[in-house]
Amino acid sequence: MNIHVPKEIREKFCGYEFLGLPFEVNGKKYIRAFHKTLGETHFYDFANCFFWHNRPEQGKPEYNSL
């Protein structure tokens, strides 16, 4: 359990274990999320409710996945 992630997000994405403290990149809030089945660490974007496979890079523009 990670107290930095709201309960509804932890319940919605029960296949993930959220790790550590949230951090900001380019003004957006992220947290590391370990996928229990795949055994990989992704990055959860709080603003877009989206998981990135790679860590967002500082100073680089972000693109919508749509």
pLDDT for res 60:
54
Average pLDDT along the chain, 66 residues, taken 10 residues at a time: 89 95 92 94 94 75 50
**Which residues lie below 8 Å from residue 52, measured CB to CB, with a gap of 6+?**
30, 42, 43, 44, 45
pTM above 0.85, yes or no: no
Which three-class secondary structure state does DSSP give residue 8?
A: helix
The DSSP output letter for 47 is: T
pLDDT for res 58:
66
The answer to whether residues 43 and 54 touch, using CB atoms and an 8 Å cutoff, is yes
pLDDT for res 29:
94
**Which residues lie below 8 Å from residue 14, measured CB to CB, with a gap of 6+?**
none
pLDDT for res 66:
41
